């Protein structure tokens, strides 16, 4: 293993500890519910080679997120089990939240690209024609997608600045998700839109300090292998690393056959993960791989991607594009507010606020923030938002991966407008179909 990675990981580990202490002690950070990974990444950006140059990060630090995203996507298929449920209400709610997620994804892509191709291109002549994609890749996608799309844009569109811009977008998205989410929760409680929480002060203290009291602590997984043979955590991690490297390997061997185009490693890793899970299930071996433990491994890579991604942002690029970035962020937040306030009540028949606040956090930041916001208003999970999302998101993933894989290829051929209009049209049609579904699908 390269010594540069060990050095960078060591420095980041120190910053993670400092970041957690700051999160645990500073009231301002607690009230905003800022994740430790964000605090750490910002510390790395401030003190690293793109800031004050106090910490000697290697010049490889920007490449880590692009590799780790393959491990993250390769791990995803193993993080959930689908339980058969005959409830018509459960099926209806699954269609609603899955469809709403796809609508948000498509509109972020479509409206962002439309804004970039029209207004930004007029206001900033010479700006990259795919600049509008920064909205969806950063907000809906997050730092993992930003890492992946940065690599893909660099190889397919020769746009090397895309990763720093997308990482900045993802960081702004997470801040918007957390701070805006807290404001939304307070507004929802005041307006009596919440179903379970009537007072903001009812939130558990662990949300603020990051420390869970002994009586509330839960297991993060099961021991499915004997320690005498192999450590269970190592076996789970080995599977994830294998799938991730398989994705990277397939990207490298297929590149010469694609006329200069590249299919991202995370796409291959996700497919390999699905196929391997199907094979293990067929052989009745999936019982030895715990979804909860796999989720924690996913969380590990997600946090590292956030930290390394923010710490490696090239501040000169952000300053250069500060104007168009600010405009597209304002557009994205305005779109999120509109969808939250007007789409949520129309698409969700029950618990519209709880489901909408979860999608707010998920679509602007990451799923973990969506869960945190949901727990604020539904601490006992009575709305059943997470189970239906886990099932409904299966339908979202193909759309998300397809956008990430095919947009760079289509854009390289000059088909940005075709992709943009297709996203907008598909989003509107899907909204109409779900409204029709709600009116015809009866729950007995």
Is the CB of residue 221 less than 8 Å from the CB of residue 292? Answer: yes
Is 219 within the bounds of a domain? no
Is the CB of residue 376 less than 8 Å from the CB of residue 185? Answer: yes
As a whole-number percent, the residues of the chain with pLDDT over 70 amount to 90
The answer on pLDDT for 85 being more than 70 is no
Specify the pLDDT at position 262.
64
Tokens of 167: 């990482």
Specify the pLDDT at position 1.
47
Of the pLDDT bands very low, low, confident and very high (cuts 50, 70, 90), residue 202 is: low
Burial class (CB within 10 angstroms; exposed 0-12, middle 13-18, buried 19+) of 4 = middle
Is 215 within the bounds of a domain? no
Is the CB of residue 269 less than 8 Å from the CB of residue 247? Answer: yes
Rounded Cα distance between 245 and 268, Å, is 10
Find where tokens 């929760």 sit: 185
Specify the pLDDT at position 390.
66
Specify the pLDDT at position 114.
96
Specify the pLDDT at position 332.
92
- The total number of structural domains in the chain stands at 1
Is the CB of residue 65 less than 8 Å from the CB of residue 143? Answer: yes
Rounded Cα distance between 270 and 73, Å, is 5
Is 217 within the bounds of a domain? no
Specify the pLDDT at position 292.
85
Averaging pLDDT over each range in 56-60, 98-102, 167-171, 387-391, which range is the top one? 98-102
Query: In this structure, how many other beta carbons lie within 10 angstroms of the beta carbon of residue 111?
Result: 22
Specify the pLDDT at position 417.
94
Domain holding 77, by residue range, is: 3-203+226-440
Specify the pLDDT at position 241.
92
The answer on pLDDT for 444 being more than 60 is no
Specify the pLDDT at position 2.
58
Specify the pLDDT at position 430.
95
Is the CB of residue 174 less than 8 Å from the CB of residue 362? Answer: no
Q: How far is CA 213 from CA 17, 216, 217, 380, 393, in A?
A: 19, 5, 6, 17, 32
Per-residue pLDDT tens digits for 400-435: 878 888 888 888 888 889 999 999 999 999 999 999
Tokens of 131: 């600049």
Is the CB of residue 68 less than 8 Å from the CB of residue 287? Answer: no
The answer on pLDDT for 86 being more than 60 is no
Is 220 within the bounds of a domain? no
| Three-class DSSP labels, the chain | CCHHHHHHHHHHHHHHHHHHHHHHHCHHHHHHCCCHHHHHHHHHHHHCCCCCCCCCCCCCHHHHHHHHHHHHHHHHHHCCCCCCCCCHHHHHHHHHHHHHHHHHHHHHHHHHHHHHHHHHHHHCCCCCCCCCHHHHHHCCCHHHHHHHHHHHHHHHCCCCCHHHHHHHHHHHHHHHHHHHHHHHHHHHHHCCCCCCCCCHHHCCCHHHHCCCCHHHCCCCCCCCCCCCCCCHHHHHHHHHHHHHHHHHHHHHHHHHHCCCCCCCHHHHHHHHHHHHHHHHHHCCCHHHCCHHHHHHHHHHHHHHHHHHHHHCCCHHHHHHCHHHHHHHHHHHHHHHHHHHHHHHHHHCCCCHHHHHHHHHHHHHCCHHHHHHHHHHHCCCCCCCHHHHHHHHHHHHHHHHHHHHHHHHHHHHCCCHHHHHHHHHHHHHHHHHHHHHHHHHCCCC
Is the CB of residue 353 less than 8 Å from the CB of residue 193? Answer: yes
Specify the pLDDT at position 331.
94
Q: Which residue has the higher pLDDT, 83 or 10?
A: 10
Of the pLDDT bands very low, low, confident and very high (cuts 50, 70, 90), residue 260 is: low
What is the b/e burial string over 6-35, where b = at least 16 CB atoms within 10 angstroms of the residue's CB? Answer: ebbbebbeebbeebbebbeeeeebbeebbb
Per-residue pLDDT tens digits for 20-79: 999 888 888 877 767 788 788 889 988 988 788 888 888 888 778 778 878 887 887 887
The answer on pLDDT for 442 being more than 70 is no
Is 93 within the bounds of a domain? yes
Rounded Cα distance between 243 and 172, Å, is 31
Is 256 within the bounds of a domain? yes
Look at the chain and count its residues: 444
Specify the pLDDT at position 391.
67
The answer on pLDDT for 261 being more than 80 is no
Specify the pLDDT at position 13.
93
Per-residue pLDDT tens digits for 232-251: 889 899 999 999 999 889 88
The answer on pLDDT for 177 being more than 90 is no
Rounded Cα distance between 111 and 421, Å, is 9
Of the pLDDT bands very low, low, confident and very high (cuts 50, 70, 90), residue 375 is: confident
Is 295 within the bounds of a domain? yes
The answer on pLDDT for 380 being more than 60 is yes
- What rounded mean pLDDT belongs to the chain? 83
Is 232 within the bounds of a domain? yes
Query: In this structure, how many other beta carbons lie within 10 angstroms of the beta carbon of residue 123?
Result: 11
Question: Which range has the worst mean pLDDT, 75-89, 141-155, 416-430?
Answer: 75-89
């Amino acid at each position: 293993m390269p010594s540069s990675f060990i050095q960078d990981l060591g420095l980041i580990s120190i910053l993670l500890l400092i970041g957690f202490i700051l999160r645990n002690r500073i009231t301002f950070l607690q009230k905003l519910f800022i994740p430790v990974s964000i605090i750490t990444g910002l510390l790395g950006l401030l003190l690293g080679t793109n800031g004050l140059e106090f910490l000697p990060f290697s010049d490889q630090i920007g490449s880590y997120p692009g590799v780790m995203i393959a491990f993250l996507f390769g791990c995803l298929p193993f993080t959930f089990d689908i339980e058969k449920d005959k409830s018509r209400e459960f099926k209806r709610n699954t269609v609603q939240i899955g469809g709403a997620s796809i609508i948000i994804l498509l509109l972020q892509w479509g409206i962002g690209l439309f804004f970039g191709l029209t207004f930004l291109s007029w206001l900033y002549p010479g700006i990259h024609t795919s600049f509008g994609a920064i909205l969806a890749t950063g907000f809906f996608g997050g730092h993992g997608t930003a890492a992946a799309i940065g690599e893909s844009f660099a190889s397919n569109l020769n746009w090397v600045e895309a990763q720093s811009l997308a990482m900045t977008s993802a960081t702004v998205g997470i801040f918007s998700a957390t701070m805006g989410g807290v404001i939304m929760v307070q507004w929802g409680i005041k307006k009596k839109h919440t179903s379970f929480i009537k007072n903001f002060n009812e939130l558990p203290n662990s949300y603020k300090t990051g420390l869970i009291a002994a009586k509330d602590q839960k297991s993060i997984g099961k021991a499915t292998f004997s320690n005498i043979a192999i450590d269970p955590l190592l076996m789970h991690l080995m599977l994830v690393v294998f799938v991730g490297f398989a994705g990277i390997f397939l990207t490298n061997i297929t590149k010469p056959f694609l006329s200069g185009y590249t299919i991202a490693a995370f796409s291959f890793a996700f497919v390999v993960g699905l196929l391997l899970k199907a094979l293990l299930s067929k052989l009745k071996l999936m019982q030895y791989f715990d979804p909860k433990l796999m989720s924690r491994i996913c969380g590990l890579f997600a946090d590292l991607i956030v930290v390394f991604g923010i710490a490696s942002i090239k501040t000169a690029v952000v300053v250069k594009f500060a104007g168009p970035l600010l405009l597209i962020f304002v557009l994205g937040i305005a779109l999120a507010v509109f969808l939250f306030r007007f789409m949520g009540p129309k698409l969700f028949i029950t618990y519209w606020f709880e489901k909408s606040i979860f999608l707010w956090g998920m679509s602007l930041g990451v799923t973990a923030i969506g869960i945190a916001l949901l727990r604020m208003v539904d601490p006992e999970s009575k709305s059943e938002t997470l189970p239906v999302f886990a099932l409904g998101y299966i339908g979202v993933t193909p759309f998300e991966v397809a956008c990430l894989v095919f947009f760079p290829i289509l854009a390289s051929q000059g088909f940005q407008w075709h992709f943009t209009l297709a996203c907008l049209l598909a989003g509107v049609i899907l909204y109409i179909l779900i409204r029709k579904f709600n009116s015809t699908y009866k729950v007995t």
